Structure 1
Amino acid sequence: MLGDIDWSRQGLWGVRLEWGLAGARALGPDSACIVVVDVLSFTTSVTVAVDAGTQVVPYRWRDDTAAEFAAKHGAELAVGRRAVSAEQPWSLSPAALRRAPVAARLVLSSPNGSAISAAVSGVPVVAACFRNSTAVARWISRRGWGTSERPISVVAAGEHWPGQNILRPAVEDWLGCGAVVSALADCGAGPLSPEAFAAKACHDGVDDIPSLISNCASGRELTSGGFAEDVVIATELDASGVVPTLVDGAFIDTGR
């Protein structure tokens, strides 16, 4: 197990950072809290849904089992971006969620942020992105987390190469993690691991986050597919005060 390898746990630091499901599993057991960042688009979609009062249930698999899972949990099911219809208006698209009727509970499945959120156990899990990075940092700070004694771990979800189960490090998630780490540092959290420090430095050195995200590979992928509005919503910097936290299997706002 990666978590059993001492160097993998970044154990000296109060704010740590890793990539993907393996990174979450490596850092999670020693953490006071795990912050998942999947900017395009799981955690952005979570903030949009929770802003509207929806409880979001993460699910790893986007297959035939998802409908059964949603029914079991008394939730609507979000479909793929291109599968939206009048009968199923919810999807992983933040723009589609804004247009759709507000659901009481919604299952959001994705192989990235949702998979990480659903797989972590025994540790509070928070969904963060550019829209709520400051709110999340302040919530963590109020609990006295983000210290060497009570470290928090920020996890960049990343993407997968098309048709391959191979992690593609994504600049939007790296910078989204940097936004969270920067806000945590402003609240006095630390010390920062080298990984967290590097993400913060990258974030703080970018003058125009929205432009960079819209022109990165993932942003161009969504725009070329007709979903440019999703990228715009994902770069609404600190537009939301929600702190979506997994409680009994669903993300709800614990920040207010």
Structure 2
Amino acid sequence: MIRRVTSPYAQDGFSVGFEWGPVGAGVVAGDIVAVVDVLSFTTAVTVAADLGIEVYPYRWRDETAVAYADRRNAKLAVGRSEAGPGDVSLSPVTIRRAQGVARLVLPSPNGSTIAKELSDGGATVIAVSLRNRQAAADWVKAQGAGRRVVAIAAGERWHDGSLRPAVEDLWGAGGFLSALDQNDLSPEARAAVAAYDAVADELPNLLHECASGRELTQYGYPEDVAIAAEVDQSRSVPVLRDGMMFGST
């Protein structure tokens, strides 16, 4: 008889798991996977979903992204620093102000890339932020029992390309997992829940004071942080199907 050796990193034996980044997403598998990129991909997606905008995640904004948007009759988001009047970017503020946008291609090297890779692997992928963490948990519970749920904190990147664990994504993932109200959490998932519970009463102030919040504020985007800090203000649960995310409520 051949005995299968399970990876010690897979968090097998637990119905709820948690990991970091694209590599972690490939190791800890789930039937339903919540991608969490609070500043700002998943926050931007929830803002778009609130407005009825279809979002197509894409990895990079390059020539292939232009062609991809053209084929879908969609608006291609520009870089944050490149956005002028009427443009849409990864900044949730620009999405909230957008006029006449029905479809949006939203490049993001972190959250968007992870979501696309997971969906290609057969998982049901949802976009989770602090704005919709309770709604997302309610949606997952409504799907019925027996499904393994995993939260992936996207994190950010240092200048050398290595993963920078971003505390806002830890809080977003932990807030979602906490709202699931399940007992069978992996140790990693329990740690994420504990991290959220420790700061829940101090949000949104701590979101402005964390490294990523300070970074966006320094670059001139404090409103993006304020929108990301709208805890539980969205009932939209964007689900990735056929390359497109649209809000289920």
TM-score by length of 2: 0.93
For 2:95, the equivalent position in structure 1 comes to: 97
CA distance in 1, matches of 2:185, 2:193: 9
For 1:106, the equivalent position in structure 2 comes to: 104
Q: Displacement, 1:128?
A: 0.3
Q: Displacement, 1:63?
A: 2.4
CA distance in 1, matches of 2:47, 2:33: 20
CA distance in 2, matches of 1:58, 1:47: 13
Change beyond 3 A, Cα 1:159–1:229: same
164, 173, 176: which one aligns with 1:177: 173
RMSD over aligned CA atoms reads 1.3
**Alignment gaps of 5+ in structure 1:** none
Q: Displacement, 1:39?
A: 0.1
For 2:152, the equivalent position in structure 1 comes to: 155
CA contact (8 A) 1:45 1:94 kept: yes
Q: Percent identity?
A: 49
Q: Displacement, 1:211?
A: 1.1
CA distance in 1, matches of 2:6, 2:248: 33
Which piece of structure 1 moves more, 166-175 or 97-106? 97-106
Count how many residue pairs are aligned between Structure 1 and Structure 2. Answer: 242
Instruction: Indicate the SS of the match to 1:16.
Output: strand
CA distance in 1, matches of 2:6, 2:94: 42
Q: Displacement, 1:89?
A: 1.3
For 2:234, the equivalent position in structure 1 comes to: 240
Alignment of 1:1-256 (within 5 A): 5-28=6-29, 31-86=30-85, 89-120=87-118, 121=120, 122-145=122-145, 149-162=146-159, 164-185=160-181, 189-206=182-199, 207-255=201-249
TM-score by length of 1: 0.91
CA distance in 1, matches of 2:13, 2:186: 8
CA distance in 1, matches of 2:56, 2:165: 25
CA distance in 2, matches of 1:56, 1:102: 14
Runs of 4+ more than 2 Å apart: 62-65
**Alignment gaps of 5+ in structure 2:** none
Q: Displacement, 1:5?
A: 4.8
TM-superposition CA deviations, 1:186-219 (whole Å, max 9, x none): xxx3401111101111111112121111011100
CA distance in 1, matches of 2:171, 2:9: 21
